[in-house]
Amino acid sequence: MSVLLDPPAVALALQRIASEIALRGDRKPTDVPFIIGIRRGGEPLAKRIAAFAAELLSEAPPMGVVDITLYRDDAATALPNPRIGPSRIPGSIDGRRVVLVDDVLHTGRTIRAAFDAVFDFGRPRVIELAVLIDRGGRELPIQPDYVGLTTEVPPGQRVEVISKRTGPKSGDEAPWAMLVPRSPNSETR
């Protein structure tokens, strides 16, 4: 197991991503991005990016989360006991700039599923993609707009973003990006 990004490096990467998101907009209140985390790994990162972006924008960006479990193209075969969580999009995304956030980008299949989930809530003007780690290996023509770290992952290994508790409160967690050996039953990341 090796560390790709420790908590300070993750924080710097997320601050840079938030800054790039804020600077890319039209600087009009109507262009404040709607930040949507992909459940599970993208949700905590989306919250951090939204908090950093709020410091740079005219208002705090609205935040939501989508669960893509039932939108996966392998849901019937790869998920015998799926854990499905609620999707929450507070407000309309019609005509809005949406930034999808995920922890690791690999094949692009999770992002394709997230597009389908987002379109069930409306028709955004544009969808951008922010990821903490781009590990390559695309199977679909999907590229991120904002990236914390791009890395090549050796065969037999995968990227895992984990949170370690740093204090007594429920929010006292620090994310780490790790390169770990692939277990035989693990999902590829």
What pTM value is reported for the model? 0.88
Encode pLDDT of 86-145 as tens digits.
Answer: 899 999 999 999 999 999 999 999 999 999 999 999 999 999 999 999 999 999 999 999
Is residue 160 a part of any domain in this protein? no
Is residue 164 a part of any domain in this protein? no
Is residue 57 a part of any domain in this protein? yes
Q: Is 9 left (phi over 0), alpha (psi -120 to 50) or beta?
A: alpha
Which CATH number covers residue 27? Answer: 3.40.50.2020
Query: What is the pLDDT confidence band of residue 49, given thresholds at 50, 70 and 90?
Result: very high
Is residue 158 a part of any domain in this protein? no
Is residue 18 a part of any domain in this protein? yes
In the sheet that holds 126-134, the strands lie side by side as 63-66, 34-38, 97-105, 126-134, 146-150
Is residue 188 a part of any domain in this protein? no
How many domains does the structure of the chain reveal? 1
Quote the domain boundaries for residue 140: 2-74+87-153
C-beta neighbour count of 79 within 10 angstroms: 14
> Using CB atoms within 10 A of its CB, is residue 185 exposed (0-12), middle (13-18) or buried (19+)?
exposed
Mean pLDDT for all residues in the chain: 88
Which amino acid appears at position 24 of this protein? R
Range 15-19 average pLDDT: 97
Residue 189 has pLDDT above 70, yes or no: no
Encode pLDDT of 53-63 as tens digits.
Answer: 999 887 899 99
Is residue 149 a part of any domain in this protein? yes
Q: CA–CA separation, 134 vs 148, rounded Å?
A: 8
Is residue 133 a part of any domain in this protein? yes
